[in-house]
Amino acid sequence: MITGNTKKVGIIGWPVGHSLSPAMHNAAFAAAGLDYVYVPLAVQPGGLKEAVDGLRALGFIGANVTIPHKVEVMQYLDEIDRTARSVGAVNTIVVKEGKCIGYNTDAQGFVEALRQQSITVEGKQAVLFGAGGAARAVVAGLFDAGIKKMILGVRNPSKAEVLSKDFTGVSVFDWYDNAFVDTLAKADILINCTPLGMAPNLAETPPVVWQRLNRAAAVCDLIYNPPLTKFLAAAKQQGHVTLNGEGMLIGQGAVAFRLWTGRQPDISVMAYIFKKKLKK
């Protein structure tokens, strides 16, 4: 039951009706016996500053932040942690002693998803397709976790230059360039960070010369709908270990849950609710 003592968390976005986070977090709070509630907070563009001030005024202990507010929100916060600064986006706020502190849990969430599958990162090489917001989080998370080198294949290298300037150790190629195809032989992890293959565009995939990919490479897609993209299906057929975007979504939620509660959530409860809601 919600009472005056119930701790409040929310998700600020526009729209937020489709978000799976309220169901996932409320189930995890209940499973942990925590008197917390997680509510959708639909905030129109133009209303973000007031919404952040509102978190403080209404006694929220934190919030998630989603599209389209993840970058703009940074200017309204009191502190921003190092990873969120390098990603350039905040997806989680903790309100502590009246101060709003911004984090990016996508970065750590992706690494936790890899670890759940026993995919190691330290000293390895990753090859990514795409250089947008999700790719930045993956790059920051993998560097924090000790990856050695990252190579990005993109359709538009000039747009991705900023990412290679912001992170030492990242090189960017046109994904049709032979030099990029050559990098596949040394990849330990291959990651699709583009929306290619996401519903309803199921027939799309980034271009991979599967014969050139290191046989032992793990192949990941940040997309979770559908659970098996054309990209992952091809990887499976070649015998690679695969991981879809469900792990990252649940992983980012688990990191946020820990920031708000100091407790480890039951990941299996979050995964169960996630799958159930996604099917609807």
Q: How far is the CB of 198 from ligand NAP (least distance, A)?
A: 5
User: Could you confirm whether 70 is annotated as catalytic?
Assistant: yes
Interacting positions 61-120 with ligand NAP (CB under 6 A): 106
Q: How far is CA 27 from CA 136, 138, 203, in A?
A: 30, 27, 34
Rounded-to-10 torsion of CA 71, 11, 5, 261: -70
Q: Does residue 131 interact with ligand NAP by CB under 6 A?
A: yes
Which residue is at the shortest CB distance from ligand NAP?
132
Nearer of residues 62 and 88 to ligand NAP, judged by Cβ: 88
Two tokens, residue 72:
């703009």
Q: Does residue 277 interact with ligand NAP by CB under 6 A?
A: no
Strand partners, 190: 127, 219
Q: How far is the CB of 233 from ligand NAP (least distance, A)?
A: 16
Q: Does residue 155 interact with ligand NAP by CB under 6 A?
A: yes
Number of neighbours of residue 212 by Cβ within 10 angstroms:
12
Q: Does residue 198 interact with ligand NAP by CB under 6 A?
A: yes
Q: Does residue 255 interact with ligand NAP by CB under 6 A?
A: no
Q: How far is the CB of 59 from ligand NAP (least distance, A)?
A: 28
Stretch that binds ligand NAP, among 36-44, 143-151, 194-202, 231-239 (CB under 6 A): 194-202
Burial class of residue 85 (count of CB atoms within 10 Å of its CB; 0-12, 13-18, 19+): middle
Q: Does residue 156 interact with ligand NAP by CB under 6 A?
A: yes
Q: Does residue 253 interact with ligand NAP by CB under 6 A?
A: no
Interacting positions 229-248 with ligand NAP (CB under 6 A): 245, 248
Q: How far is CA 253 from CA 101, 107, 205, 260, in A?
A: 17, 11, 27, 11
Name the residues annotated as catalytic.
Answer: 70
| Interface with ligand NAP (CB under 6 A) | 106, 130-135, 154-156, 159, 193-196, 198, 222-224, 245, 248-249, 252
